[in-house]
C-alpha cells in the first residue's frame, strides 16, 4: 500500500491536477516552492541524461501529495516548516513519535 493524499488529508477542498504547473501553483509556502524548483531542475537533468522518466514520475507524485497537503492545510504546512527549522537549528528537542510511527498507527505503509 502506498500513501495517497486522501489517506492523509480528509476534507472537501479540490485537489490540484497532477501536473507540474498545477502542483507548483498549489504550493503556498515559499520553502516548498523553492524545494520544488530546485528538485525539478535536478530531476529534469537526470531524465535528460538517463532518458528515463521514472524519476520525473516519482517527483510529480511526491510533490502532488505535498501540493494536496498545501491546499488542505496551508497553515499546517507553514507551521511544519517553522518547526523543522527550529529542530534543525537545535532550538527544540525532538518530542513525540516519528512520522513513520504515526503513519504505521494509521495502517499506512511507507
- Nine-digit cell at 18? 497532477
Query: Exposure of 9 by Cβ count < 10 A (0-12 exposed, 13-18 middle, 19+ buried)?
Result: middle
pLDDT in tens, the chain (110 residues): 444 545 444 556 799 999 999 999 999 999 999 999 999 999 999 999 999 999 999 999 999 999 999 999 999 999 999 988 888 888 766 667 887 888 888 887 76
Residue 50 has which C-alpha cell?
A: 538517463
The CB-based long-range contact list for 100-103 (8 Å cut-off, 24+ gap) reads: 103/3
What's the grid cell of residue 22?
498545477
- Maximum Cα–Cα distance across the chain: 43
| pTM of this prediction exceeds 0.95 | no
List helix spans (H) across 29-105.
Answer: 30-50, 54-72, 74-88, 99-105
Amino acid at each position: 500500500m502506498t500513501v495517497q493524499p486522501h489517506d492523509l488529508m480528509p476534507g472537501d477542498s479540490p485537489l490540484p491536477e497532477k501536473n507540474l504547473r498545477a502542483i507548483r501553483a498549489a504550493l503556498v509556502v515559499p520553502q516548498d516552492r523553492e524545494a520544488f524548483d530546485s528538485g525539478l531542475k535536478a530531476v529534469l537533468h537526470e531524465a535528460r541524461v538517463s532518458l528515463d522518466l521514472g524519476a520525473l514520475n516519482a517527483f510529480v507524485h511526491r510533490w502532488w501529495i505535498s501540493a494536496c497537503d498545501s491546499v488542505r492545510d496551508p497553515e499546517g504546512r507553514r507551521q511544519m516548516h517553522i518547526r523543522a527549522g527550529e529542530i534543525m537549528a537545535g532550538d527544540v528537542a525532538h518530542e513525540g513519535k516519528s512520522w513513520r510511527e504515526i503513519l504505521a498507527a494509521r495502517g499506512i505503509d511507507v
